[in-house]
Chain A
Amino acid sequence: MDIWPQLLQGFQVALTFQNLMFCLIGCLLGTAVGVLPGVGPAVTVALLLPITTKVEASGALIMFAGIYYGAMYGGSTTSILLNTPGESATIVTAMEGNQMAKRGRAGPALATSAIGSFVAGTIATVGLTFLSPYVVELGLKFGPPEYFALMVLAFTTVSAVLGESTLRGLCSLFLGLAIGLVGIDNQTGQARFAFDVPQLLDGIEVVTIAVGLFAVGETIYAASKLGSVEEKLEQMTGSVWMKWEDWKRSIGPWIRGTLIGFPFGTIPAGGAEIPTFLSYAMEKKLCKHPEEFGKGAIEGVAGPEAANNASSTGTMVPLLTLGLPTSATAAILLSAFQQYGLQPGPLLFETNSALVWGLIASFYVGNVMLLVLNLPLVGLWVKLLAIPKPQLYAGILVFATMGVYGMRQSAFDVFLLYAIGLGGFLMRRYGFPAAPVIVGMILGPLAEEQMRRSLSISQGDWMIFVTHGISALLLGLTLVILIAPLVARQLKKKNAQG
């Protein structure tokens, strides 16, 4: 099978006026739902499913896919400007991105995230075009023990987000692990930490916690300071655009973020959040200015933003080649295919090659569109920061409340949001970092689940984690990451003495 003529044929489909329009609408909608916390691409596509009876297949699917990767572009905007992550995959972006905004560098932060998303989206689409069959084979080798090892590896990234005090950072982490346990245990069907509150049976949404800790907590903190400290407007020092230095510092993270994000998209149980953690930790290790991390390092925005975008494109690999959905949005995309009587899988490439390649070609087009849409908006977005503080923070609260309510139409979630917000304020006041809570909440349940599945399959034999090659390899890598700095320090000491 020759790929080039097929891809060309795909562009012929994607570049028709009608499909360009659908792509544009999808990208716009995606950006919008990305900006709104709580409203995610999965729900948006689900609500739009009925249009499949009116619109022909390629148009609708191109639009749905546009919503999916468009959301990753939009999610970063509010993370950076308002410290309110629009999607759970852009939580990490808020850490450095908002710090940059506070130092008058919102423009470069938004630009590096938009361009990084473009670079990642495009490279990942190339990967989707040419590497699909190989990536899928590798993904299938991953079973519960391999996933568990991967989660253990991901836990080593926690050290990057712990903050200045390890003790306080670990307290936050354990709080996150505990929150992650709330709800029905998937392995036994028993409720944990739900206190007979039915709304807690499905657990607490990561977005609720993130918006509560970051946005609401931050707002209360700012309000508590208002008046006591003389108000100083955040200055827009420097250019809105990226300087040469910013470009130089972004390119590496973009590429590395893509390489981490893409494979994660292709496996179920990865999610787009974990590659953003990994990318963040990696950039912190590699960065020549590690002291800037926590104070607005551009690498900490560029890497994770590339990672989340590459991961959403990576999701298309198993979806198109195997009919295997690896995320909630992909599952709904799968049902969109089924509405047309199409079944994604190897056969689809043969029976409906114009449709599949049209869809793939539309990813190239859509990423260009999103870049063109988002870059000029940067100038507009940063003006938001010129709004006086009381109004700005009131706006953030309205925004956060609407988003969290919209997620499940549940008043309970709004109470929860403010309770968490109050907790976030106290944590901020006493110097406990918020990010480890989120990391613990996402990684904890995944690691637990995969470990218990593995042990169930092996009938309780712990050796399963080392007898499986990939799992052993990943655990070994984790050990190296943990031990290497200690060994290096010892060697340095010896050299200094000798």
Chain B
Amino acid sequence: MTAPLLSLRGISKSYGEVRANQGVDLDVAPRSIHAILGENGAGKSTLMKLIYGVEQPDDGTVAWQGEILSLASPAEARRKGIGMVFQHFSLFETLTVVENIQLVVQGRKADLIDRVKALGRDFGLEVDPLADVHALSVGERQRVEIIRCLMTDPKLLILDEPTSVLPPQSVGKLFETLRRLRDGGVSILFISHKLDEIRAICDRATILRAGRVTGNVDPREHDAHDLARMMIGRDMPEPMPALPRSGGEKQLEIVGLDYRPDDPFAVPLSNISLTVRAGEILGIAGISGNGQSELSALISGETRLPREATDRIFMMGQDVGTFGAAARRRLGFAFVPEDRLGRGAVPEMSLVLNSLLTAHPLGLKRHGLVDRAKAAAFTKDCIRQYDVRTPGPEAEAGALSGGNLQKFIVGREIMLAPRLLFVAQPTWGVDIGAASAIRRRLVALRNEGMAILVISEELEELFELCDFIQVLYHGTLSDPLVTRDTRPEEIGRYMIGAHSAAAKALA
């Protein structure tokens, strides 16, 4: 075997009590695509930050081309030839593509524009160098990030969950780009928790579980089942079967909704229609940034419609377009937002006070004063029933891990016994065990007759949960597709807008 390009030995990193990496060893060969596989919270992102110099390890050594390195900053990592594409991009929305590149690469603007175009041609990464970044789609932004990295001539390119923002069709194109890069002499560290992708493209895979390496294999020699066991330490949990039922009351109905937001960086919505009935789960698929947050806020009441827009949004049969969030909740609506800290919960407040946030109508206040005893009892209930790992009800929400806070918020909203439950990204950042518990709970509630709306980026999750799926693309929503009659590729076509283009061509 050739000498490794990058070699880690005994890398450890802790954040307070959390040991994110413990004694990690890793060797990345030159000209290879190397996967770091692990579920949410396994320590993948921390490891990448250590390699890229964003953070420094508590212990262990990093060797680069045989030489011991101590990287103090990303700039230093870039000078050594290490580039990174982040999962949540580090682009500046108010600047143009070429201005974003100027921030990282020296050179005259005209030269940079030429180089952007040349790289685009060579590696299949076409993008307009003079476009404002806020006007680009998520896929285009990823291309900009990759181009920006490539312009520093890296020998190692780190990609953090690059496919999570792409529709299935674009994944193939990205892989083609990565193969061309490898053949051109660049090694790639590919972070993912998607087994099929890793088997499709990677030469080598290092598997992390709870901060430790649990395997170092050639992924093509192992089936998905093997890899999964190394990743989660047990077999995948079985999904709960949904009882067939339908025809319940319409609990949420949106009819031909158009919305132009105040925020110039937000996505306008046009002609949105959907219906959620009691005993049904409707899923909204789509790549984030296509209007999900705008639609969520319109359904939750955080954004209200202007007075003249009547008969657009109905909840439990009432026109609620101009209702605020509290008024909608009074009708029996509950909501788990995609951002937990700062929206679903107040980080600096205790769980008891966070219960009060939406559960106050359950008798947690009396004569305008907070009834602490009742709020504490409610919180203890929620912690027990939803298996929230926390020192106690007085712990601050901000001190909980993402997964535990999600369990708390989901629990709090379900305990409100809503008629209509809306969950955005139910299992983001939640470990597999907790994620499957949340999904089983949602299916059970559906079987009991609750109307449930789910927005998710994870197609597998939607296929596991939903009776119907609609796809959000560029602020428009597709017609509902019956999940069991639909293949993921079909949803994928809607996700990149190919379906509507084809429909227009036919018409």
A pairs with B: no
